[in-house]
Amino acid sequence: PRIAVIVVAAGSGERLGAGGPKAFVGIDEHTILRHALTRVFAAPEAQVVIVAPRGREGDALTEALEAAGDRRDLVSVVTGGDTRQASVASGLAALWADVEIVLVHDAARALTPPAVFERVIATIDSGRDGALPVLPVVDTIKRVTDTEVLHAVDRDELAAAQTPQGFRRDILDAAYRGADREFTDDAALVGAAGHGVFVVAGDPRSFKITTPADLERARSLVATSPL
Ligand code: C5P
C-alpha cells in the first residue's frame, strides 16, 4: 500500500495505574489497543505496524488479527523502545518499500474516529509535508513560574495536538535519522527538521487515555455510541 499507520502501544501506562501496559487494559470487553485498531482498519487501506511492549508482541498480534478482518496481510508487530520516539523509530524500520505516506497514531487515543485519518491523508495527498489534527484550547492558559503567574497566553495562538499525525514518508524518515534529541511529538520533530506541518481538525473523541478518569470517560462513550 501507499499508506502506512504506525500505532505506538509500547507505553507502560504508569499514570493509569492498571498494573500492566496500558494498551491491554479493557474499555469494555475489548482493550484500548483493540478499539484503536478497529478504527484504524475502518480508515483507508494501509500497512498497519503495531509497536508493542517487549514481551507482549504475541498479544498485540492476536488483537490486530482480530481487528483486521480481510486486511490481515497488512499487519505487522514490532517491539517498542524506552521512549515514544524510540518506539516510532522501531515502527519506521518496519515500513514496506512502496509506502509514501506515514501516519503515527497513539494507541492510547483509542476512540479516534476514522474520519480524522481521512483528513490527515487528504492533507498529505494535497501536497503538504505534514498534517497535525488539533482541537481549540478551551481553558485560559497562563505562563507561570513555580510560585507566580507571569501572564496569560493568547488562546487564539494555541491548539491541543492529537494523533494520527501524518507525513510524507521520505520527510519523516529523514527527520528521524537526523533527530539528535527527544521531541514532544512527531510534528515537533519534523518541524525542527525545517518542514511545515499543516493543521487539520481534530476530534474530541481522540482524547488520550492517560488517567483513571480518562478511562471512565472512554467507557461511558463506548457504552453510548458505536464508533
Ligand atoms: O504515555 P503516553 O500515553 O503519553 O504515550 C503516548 C503513546 O505512546 C501511547 O499509545 C504509548 O503506548 C506510546 N508509547 C510507546 N513507547 C513508549 C512510550 C509511549 O509506544 N516508550
d(CA 195, CA 200): 16
Ligand 1 center to residue 98 CA distance, Å? 27
Query: What's the CATH number where 136 sits?
Result: 3.90.550.10
Q: Mean pLDDT, to the nearest integer, of 177-195?
A: 97
* Number of domain units in the chain: 1
Q: Rounded to two decimals, what is the model's pTM? A: 0.97
Instruction: Say yes or no: ipTM exceeds 0.90.
Output: yes
**pLDDT at residue 225, rounded to an integer:** 80
Which ligand 1 atom is the nearest neighbour of the CA of 7? 10
Ligand 1 — pocket residues by CB below 6 A?
8-11, 22-23, 51, 80-84, 87, 106-108, 208, 210
Query: Which of 7, 8, 54 best tests ligand 1's pocket when mutated (most atoms within 8 Å of CB)?
Result: 8
Q: Is 4 helix (H, G, I), strand (E, B) or coil?
A: strand
Which ligand 1 atom is the nearest neighbour of the CA of 83? 21
Q: What is the mean pLDDT of the chain?
A: 96
Predicted confidence band of residue 174 (pLDDT cuts 50, 70, 90): very high
Which ligand 1 atom is the nearest neighbour of the CA of 106? 10
Give tens-digit pLDDT for 78-137. 999 999 999 999 999 999 999 999 999 999 999 999 999 999 999 999 999 999 999 999
Percent of the chain with pLDDT over 90: 91
Ligand 1 center to residue 37 CA distance, Å? 15
Range of the structural domain that residue 215 is part of = 3-224
* Residues 22-45 as b or e (16 or more Cβ within 10 Å = b): bbbbebeebbbbbbbbbbbbebee
Is the separation of the CB atoms in 76 and 47 below 8 Å? yes
β-strands 3-8, 101-106: how paired? parallel
Which ligand 1 atom is the nearest neighbour of the CA of 8? 20
